[in-house]
Structure 1
Amino acid sequence: MKGLQGKSIIVTGGGSGIGEAAALLLGEAGCKVTIADLDGGKARNVADQIVQRGGTASAVEADVSDEASVIAMVDHAISQFGGLDGACNAAGVPQRGKLLHEVDLEEWDLCHGVNLRGLFLCNKYQIKAMLAKGGAIVNIASTAAMVGFPNGAEYCASKAGVLGLTRGSAIDYATRGIRINSVMPGGTLTPMLKGAMANDPGLEPALAAVHPMNRFAQPAEIATAARWLLSDEASFTTGAAFAIDGGHTAI
């Protein structure tokens, strides 16, 4: 894909799910990939897979809700690969499967601490690292940013914030050579979704019913969109929110 060879790219949440799929695709495209994950072992496993396939990758343990950890993550990518050209921010936590009045403040704070505060911190320090020569950022949101899900108001709110953050920052940096976009996956068979469905038996049939294609996505189907947005082929695309959702938001 045009313009990816040799680029230094961070993938948060890169140890599993959409992040893992994105890291592997970017590795195949010739990127130098920094895989960041709260689970350092999973991050190293994905980095090893890229290297075994002839690519270039490094792993770093990172908590995106912690400012010092995010700074260290960006510094790691720069020290390993000489700079930062892009990022795919896929780290996130699922809904708790509760009605809003049942959600504890701690549960709300965890959801927003990772999904929104974490995204703010990642974008802040990734942008700082890209100011000198430009770059591209893809933030993984969700169709929950656009439509409601049962027992997931706190999650919907966090993902709606992702779209606002993406659009606002895209405008601010449009003349600075930094493109910032978001991808809104529909139901995707990641470990996070599988865990959420296990905790909330009503979630799987509810999600299945709203996808006209009558199936869930595989992580790679979402990651291909992120890879395109990070490439030079998307050079006139910024501030966009792409729904990759089997028709969910078309209903």
Structure 2
Amino acid sequence: MTGPSGRRYLVTGAAGRIGRAAAHLLAARGASVVTQDQAGDVDVLADLAGTDLSAVVAQAEAAGPLDGVVLAHGTYPNLPVAEMTVAEWDRVFAVNVRAVMLITRELFTRWVARGTPGAIVVISSGAARSARAGGGHYCSSKAAVEMFTQVSAIEGGPHGIRVNAVAPGLVLDEVIRPDTPDVPDYFAQTLAATPLRRTGDPADIAEACEFLLSDRSSWTTGAVVDVSGGSHTGRPHLPLTRDLT
């Protein structure tokens, strides 16, 4: 068995564009998928900021043990540090980091007790390694997620548990290219800084998640896979010149 067919997965944040795409792709390829979100077109298991997440996993396993999870939930407010309250900071870390840790801990406990392997894919962000104004809490939370991914990979590896992350660039419901009319300035600047000159499609990220859950990546753990059209590489939109003065 190399793909998701016959396996059982939990996808958190499944009402969001990335979580929804991942859940649909896994199901289309034969997996049994349990979904979680606070609202939307999926079953609501819990608010990940304030719930006993062992109960979330137990509910997800009610019809059978999980083989893996895509942790696609997240919150991404934009606020200057000088205006940020402690509650706003804590909310971002509760959802983006603590919930990842708690679900990972619960799955580790169950998989180790059963002696079965498992795979975890965490949705990070290019913001983990690319600071931007207003992202003090969000960028920091995603940097924490990437380090947690690597620590978890070290601890899970001897038990056959793989933990990887996917770091998307700008992903929209509709792909935007340079010739797309009426592109907002922020998107235009992002396109200029993206070597492949388009925004991401949710399916781009879903494909990466499916690969990292599958046996095709059986020797991959602790990886952060950038699926960003190349926007993580630097500043490709700067003009070329020999005049450096």
Alignment TM class, shorter chain as reference: 0.7 to 0.9
Relative to total residues, which structure has the larger helix share, 1 or 2?
Answer: 1
Q: Partners of 1:205 and 1:167 in 2: how far apart?
A: 33
Q: Does the 8 Å contact 1:135/1:177 carry over to 2?
A: yes
Tell me which stretches of 4 or more aligned residues in structure 1 moved more than 3 Å: 201-209
TM-fit CA distance, 1:215: 2.1
- Higher radius of gyration, 1 or 2: 2
Who is 2:65 aligned against?
83
3-state secondary structure, aligned to 1:228? helix
Q: 2:167 aligns with which of 173, 184, 193?
A: 184
Identity of aligned residues (%): 38
Q: Distance in 1 between matches of 2:231 and 2:60?
A: 36
CA distance in 2 between counterparts of 1:203 and 1:113 reads 28
Asked if the contact 1:84–1:129 (Cα under 8 Å) also holds between the matched residues in 2, the reply is no
Query: Are the aligned partners of 2:121 and 2:209 in contact in 1 as well (CA < 8 Å)?
Result: yes
Q: In the TM superposition, what is the alpha-carbon distance from 1:79 to its structure 2 partner?
A: 1.0
Give unmatched runs, 5+ long, in structure 2. 175-183, 235-245
**Aligned residue in 2 for 1:149:** 132
CA shift digits 1:74-100 (9 cap, x unpaired)? 1112112x101100000000132x222
With structure 1 as the length reference, what TM-score do the two structures score?
A: 0.83
Q: Does 2:41 correspond to 1:42?
A: yes
Residues 205 and 150 of structure 1, relative CA distance in 2, 3 Å threshold: farther
For residues 6-33 of structure 1, what are the alpha-carbon distances to aligned partners after superposition, in whole Å with 9 as ceiling and x for unaligned? 1110000012210000000000111110
Tell me if the contact between 1:64 and 1:121 (Cα under 8 Å) persists in the aligned partners: no
Q: Take 2:73 and 2:222, find their aligned partners in 1: how far apart are those partners?
A: 20
Tell me, in whole angstroms, the C-alpha distance in 2 between the residues paired with 1:151 and 1:16.
21
Counterpart in the other structure of 2:47: 63
1:208 counterpart = 2:191: yes
**SS of corresponding position for 1:91:** coil
Decide whether the 8 Å contact of 1:16 with 1:42 is kept in 2.
no
Contact 1:2 1:232 in 2 (8 A): yes
Could you report, residue by residue, the CA deviation over 1:87-136 in whole angstroms, capped at 9, with x for unpaired residues?
A: 0000000132x222222212111111111111111211122222221110
Q: Paired residue for 1:196?
A: none
Q: Which amino acid aligns with 1:120?
A: M
Amino acid at match of 2:169: G
1:220-235 mapped onto 2 (5 Å cutoff): 220-235=203-218
| 1:102 equivalent in alignment to 2:101 | no
Aligned to 1:118: 99
Give the structure-2-normalised TM-score.
0.85
Aligned residues: 223
Contact 1:18 / 1:190 at 8 angstroms: preserved in 2?
no
RMSD between superposed Cα atoms in Å: 1.8
1:161 partnered with 2:144 = yes
Cα distance in structure 1, aligned partners of 2:84 and 2:26: 37
Gaps of 5+ in 1: 44-58, 192-200
Amino acid at match of 1:29: R
Name 1:17's counterpart in structure 2: 17
Question: Is 1:74 the equivalent of 2:73?
Answer: no
Number of the residue aligned with 1:6: 6
